[in-house]
Structure 1
């Protein structure tokens, strides 16, 4: 009996959901498509109908994580007279809120952090690098605008400010995800952001802006 498009989509989503749990529990390298099929309650043939191999399934799982709204961020930093540093700090804080409240995002990023990226999984790593490169370029443009408008402290360049923020956010989330959520990601993370952005600001400019962005 021929399956409907809705049924096929439901099966596909069930496979992706099962892969998320299996990869989280076993690791991508140790998990097999047989493990995923069993967890999803389907045959391996059903998996191959939707995905060519484990890498293809892993890529789809990676793509299921909502990314920051890049177009919105790009528009915001181009607004005349906008306090770019304030907006970047708020966007980073919003990301921490989303991370702390979204178990799906937590599992996917934990899987990515634990993955050994053997040769057959390199396409996933390459996809991550493409997204990261795009986000880094966006942040550098934002910090460059802050410098041109006199907000960025002369001790920082757009590149060094971007790296400091990128490394801090990456370190915060990695430590929180991999080592038992042993601190309050949102409260301590936003406090760290406040201190970091305080160092980004020109002293004169900092005196003229609200304490809370």
Structure 2
């Protein structure tokens, strides 16, 4: 009986989060109240407050559902880079973007983060978390590019720290544009072409020839 109660509680929690994601992505975070979420989920306000202290708590729980996906991609990058930094980075960039194109939840939550949220007032604490994640991503990219430089894979003029900034900006920019206007390009199909120009500026021609699929 206790197990069933826990399962039911978890189902209710997921229901609230699913509803919040949909409403946030449609109406924006600031214009969506917990009362609105409760009504749309067919629950009482008390049920929502039993699971989440406030909107900030719910918003963070929404982020927590997608963070493991990106942590997994980063861990895969770090492991693969020990063998071949250039190939590992190329696969990471392609997988990072194409995985969003194939996952509605990732699309919905990233749309909320990029296009439907102002990290001010009650959501101001989230900004620090987002900045920390961005810095963590930049550090990882820098380390991989430094490893590529040590193996002689980078063009002589490339500075790993600056290159990591550019690559991170390309990832984020392509996602923002596609989430705002999916008709602009096919993210799942066009990813290699979208990344190609920057990669040709970063890596030596002989290294690019060995990447699969080729940029």
Q: TM-score, normalised by structure 1?
A: 0.90
Q: Unmatched 5+ residue regions in structure 1?
A: none
Question: What SS does structure 2 have at the residue aligned with 1:4?
Answer: helix
CA distance in 1, matches of 2:96, 2:208: 26
The aligned counterpart of 2:158 is: 156
The aligned counterpart of 1:18 is: 19
Pair 1:77-2:81 in alignment: yes
Question: What SS does structure 1 have at the residue aligned with 2:70?
Answer: coil
1:207 Cα deviation from its structure 2 partner? 7.3
Q: TM-score, normalised by structure 2?
A: 0.89
Tell me if structure 1 keeps the 8 A contact 2:90–2:211.
no
Identify which range, 185-194 or 39-48, moves more after superposition. 185-194
Question: What SS does structure 2 have at the residue aligned with 1:67?
Answer: helix
The aligned counterpart of 2:149 is: 147
Q: 1:152 to 1:52 in 2, by over 3 A?
A: same
Q: Unmatched 5+ residue regions in structure 2?
A: none
Q: Tell me the number of residue pairs that the alignment of Structure 1 and Structure 2 aligns.
A: 208
Q: 1:211 to 1:189 in 2, by over 3 A?
A: closer
Pair 1:182-2:211 in alignment: no
The aligned counterpart of 1:60 is: 61
CA distance in 1, matches of 2:24, 2:212: 43
CA distance in 2, matches of 1:42, 1:210: 51
CA distance in 2, matches of 1:87, 1:13: 34
The aligned counterpart of 2:199 is: 197
